[in-house]
Chains A and B, each alone.
Chain A
Amino acid sequence: MSEEKKQQVSRRQFLNYTLMGVGGFMAAGLLISPVRMAIDPVLKSGEGGGLANVGIAVDEITNEPTRIDWSVDQVDGWYESQVSRSAWVFKDENDEIVAFSPVCKHLGCVVSWEGSEKYPNEFFCPCHDGRYYKNGVNVPGTPPLTPLDEYEMEIKDGMLFLGDPKPHREA
């Protein structure tokens, strides 16, 4: 008789288990959002974090700056649109790939590599004769006051991926 009684669940035990179960759920419910936030970067999809494939293989990039055009989807307030972007891409003297934004830091025209015959080996802005050396730094005495912006970049499967323009590393 006493053996049998031990195996039965008492009222007290039953209530304890139930409370533990419910309490456990509540604790889990409270913990889930901070934990999700803590591990969020790990769960980010492998899309390269907003970087776009600009359609050029790394092997195709030479020491000569080449203009690359691509477009990205952009939502800006209530305008959802395709925005075209451009970059001057080349390998610098250390064989590192560089992607400069072509937007002149003076008033925002589009600069081009060797855009003027008078200034070889420089980026040239057609609007007010702004000039930049090959490393993107503005030539003193010309209108722009800061170096060209640089794109965030990543190389995946031998292709170049570019993100948003960021201030030049020397700025």
Chain B
Amino acid sequence: MKWRKEDLEKYVQAKEYIDTILLPIIPFQLADDAESEKHAFQQEVMGIFGSEIEQELSGRVMLIPSYYYLKEGNKEVEVQRLNDWIAEAKDQPFQHIILLTFDATWKKYEKELDGNLLWLPGLHGADIRTKETQGIIRDQVKQLTEIIRSYWQ
């Protein structure tokens, strides 16, 4: 399910079946030109990952709007805000909260987060329109759905 009207209508009917939140967390900054190109690209790739995983597991997973934060911002504050998002979801009750990120700095704060952090190695200098990149993404999506399914067991 995605955060859109027609899916939400279905979700309200079938709440007991949908117990997993997928939350992409995405850094944003404009100060460093080279870096911002990289971050914009990662944002695009994250969009693809999110929607592909959602498509595979749409009957049990809700892909909610991405969480954006300043790349050089204070992580302690972000952890606090993220935990507020997670608490909102857990109230519903969603049982599994999965955070997707390309940003390795989150690894340090993993223990303070109330959800499961999945860090993905970034794709650098790739072109998302080529067959090879699509193949890589498809393969990674397959492995990610395996991991998410393992949380359900």
A126 — nearest CB in chain B belongs to which residue? B149
Chain A residues near B149 (CB-CB < 8 A): 126
Bitwise interface map of A from 73 to 111 toward B, beta carbon under 8 Å scored 1, else 0: 000000000000000000000000000000010111110
Residue with the greatest number of chain B CB neighbours at <10 A, chosen from A104, A106, A109? A109
Chain A residues near B55 (CB-CB < 8 A): 110
Closest Cβ–Cβ distance, residue A32 to chain B (whole Å): 42
Q: Is B145 an interface residue (CB 8 A)?
A: yes
Q: Is A128 an interface residue (CB 8 A)?
A: yes
> Which of A69, A127, A143 interacts with B57 by CB under 8 Å?
A127
Q: Is A148 an interface residue (CB 8 A)?
A: no
CA A25 to CA B57, docked complex, whole Å: 62
Asked if A109 and B60 sit within 8 Å, CB to CB, the answer is: yes
CA A69 to CA B59, docked complex, whole Å: 20
Asked if A127 and B60 sit within 8 Å, CB to CB, the answer is: yes
Asked if B59 and A125 sit within 8 Å, CB to CB, the answer is: yes
Asked if B57 and A109 sit within 8 Å, CB to CB, the answer is: yes
Closest Cβ–Cβ distance, residue B60 to chain A (whole Å): 4
Question: Number of residues in B with C-beta < 8 Å to the partner?
Answer: 13
CA A143 to CA B60, docked complex, whole Å: 13
Closest Cβ–Cβ distance, residue B21 to chain A (whole Å): 14
Asked if A108 and B58 sit within 8 Å, CB to CB, the answer is: yes
> Which of B14, B56, B138 interacts with A109 by CB under 8 Å?
B56
Residue with the greatest number of chain A CB neighbours at <10 A, chosen from B17, B138, B145? B17
Bitwise interface map of A from 31 to 61 toward B, beta carbon under 8 Å scored 1, else 0: 0000000000000000000000000000000
Q: Is B81 an interface residue (CB 8 A)?
A: no
CA A109 to CA B60, docked complex, whole Å: 8
With A69-B138, A106-B59: A126-B17 Cβ-Cβ less than 8 Å: no
Asked if A108 and B59 sit within 8 Å, CB to CB, the answer is: yes
Closest Cβ–Cβ distance, residue A68 to chain B (whole Å): 13
CA A153 to CA B57, docked complex, whole Å: 26
B146 — nearest CB in chain A belongs to which residue? A126
CA A143 to CA B10, docked complex, whole Å: 16
Asked if B138 and A104 sit within 8 Å, CB to CB, the answer is: no
Closest Cβ–Cβ distance, residue A144 to chain B (whole Å): 10
CA A101 to CA B149, docked complex, whole Å: 21
CA A110 to CA B56, docked complex, whole Å: 5
Chain A residues near B58 (CB-CB < 8 A): 107-109
Asked if A107 and B138 sit within 8 Å, CB to CB, the answer is: no
Closest Cβ–Cβ distance, residue B137 to chain A (whole Å): 11
Chain A residues near B60 (CB-CB < 8 A): 107, 109, 127-128
CA A127 to CA B55, docked complex, whole Å: 12
CA A104 to CA B10, docked complex, whole Å: 15
Bitwise interface map of B from 58 to 76 toward A, beta carbon under 8 Å scored 1, else 0: 1110000000000000000
CA A126 to CA B18, docked complex, whole Å: 13
Chain B residues near A128 (CB-CB < 8 A): 17, 59-60
Pairs across A and B, CB under 8 Å, 5 listed: A107-B10, A107-B18, A107-B58, A107-B59, A128-B60
